[in-house]
Amino acid sequence: MRAGILANEISKAVSLAREGKRSDGRALDEYRKITVSKDMCENAESSTMITLGKTKVLAGLKLTVGTPYPDSPAEGAISIGAEALPLAHAEYESGRPSNDEVELARVVDRGLRESKAIDFAQLCIKEGEAVWVGYLDFYAINGDGNLFDAGSISSLITFRNGKMPKLDKNNKIIYGEFDGKLKMTKMPLLTTFVKVGGKIMLDPTFVEEKAAEARYSVATTEDGNLTAMQKGVGGSFTLEEVNYMIDKAFVESEKIRKQIKNE
């Protein structure tokens, strides 16, 4: 492990937080600016680059033909992977996915999956024989915190724009030809908070994550459902704090939905 950032940056973030301030001048409950660009990768069925402040994440989707699980012969599947590339931060390392990366991918996955926004029956090609498996992978290109929400936003947009490859008679993919789009019925989104210096703050930077006593992610849908939650890092939250974050997550995710609904 490399010491990528200095201890004094962390203690500065903590003392600022105690006064209700942040080093980039944001309010504790303020999100960073989000920008979206799409479909830069021609070999992907869909791809999205988003920036969240200085955090930059690239997500892409590949659809492959697989065999269904025996207990759900008429349903396809999705799989989400996450990588914090060593390209993106001095502290990120190459090699096998770290525990942090596995947690990141699984939390983003649960938020999407449990919303039932993707009907897996639409991914069936021939019952019991062939189904679509959607592999979505997202990569940090520049890491400045909150890969959870950046991963969730980029994954959602990527799935929503997923093109279904065309198949020949033998269920082989015809590259470059498409047959409709992947359907998503809802827009599940993750909203992530950390507790620094006893204060809850939204959308943490890299330094704020390092300074965090605890982290909390809430996945919500526009119809008012909670679809996944995850508490992370060593510290703790009171029930009042959890309730505050849940209410806040509904409000903040709705703002993002509004921004990205036409993407």
Partner 1 sequence: MTMQDIDYKKTKTRLDGRKMNELRPLSIEVGVIPNAQGSAYLEWGQNKVYAAVYGPREALPKHTANSLKAVVKVEYRMVSFSVPDRKRPGPNRRDQEISKVLGEALDHAIFTEQFPNTEIGVYVEVIDSNAGSRVACLAAASCALADAGIPMKDLVSATGVGKAYGEIILDLNKDEEDAPDAVDIPIAIMPNSKEIVLLQMDGPLTRKEWDSVAKLGMEGCMQVYEVQKAALAKKYEIGEALVNGKKIAKAENKTESKVENKTTDKKEDKKSSAKTTKKKVKK
- Tokens found for residue 244: 């505050």
Query: Across-strand partners of 228?
Result: 219
Q: Which is nearer to partner 1, 95 or 234 (CB)?
A: 95
Q: Minimum distance from CB of 106 to partner 1 (Å)? A: 15
What 3-state class would DSSP assign to 99? helix
The piece of 39-47, 146-154, 210-218, 226-234 that touches partner 1 (CB under 8 A) is: 39-47
CA–CA distance, 67 with 49 (Å, rounded to integer)? 31
* Cα angle 249, 54, 59; round to 5: 70
Closest CA to 68 of 117, 109, 124: 124
> What residues pair up with 124 in beta bridges, in sequence order?
131
> CB count, 10 Å around CB of 256?
20
Contact at 8 Å (CB) between 238 and 57?
A: no
Choosing from 137, 208, 209, 252, the residue that interacts with partner 1 (CB under 8 A) is 137
Q: For residue 207, state whether it binds partner 1 (rule: CB under 8 A).
A: no
Q: Which of residues 10, 125, 141, 214 is near partner 1 by CB under 8 A?
A: 141
SS3 147: helix
According to DSSP, residue 263 is labeled: -
The piece of 41-49, 67-75, 208-216, 219-227 that touches partner 1 (CB under 8 A) is 41-49
Site map (CB under 8 A) of partner 1, residues 157-186, x = contact? ------------------x-----------
Least separation in angstroms between CB 25 and partner 1: 15
Smallest distance, partner 1 to C-beta of residue 195, A: 25
Residues of the shown chain interacting with partner 1 in the complex, contacts defined by CB under 8 A: 2, 6, 40-45, 47, 54, 56, 58, 60-62, 64, 81, 83, 85-90, 94, 96-97, 135, 137, 139, 141-144, 175
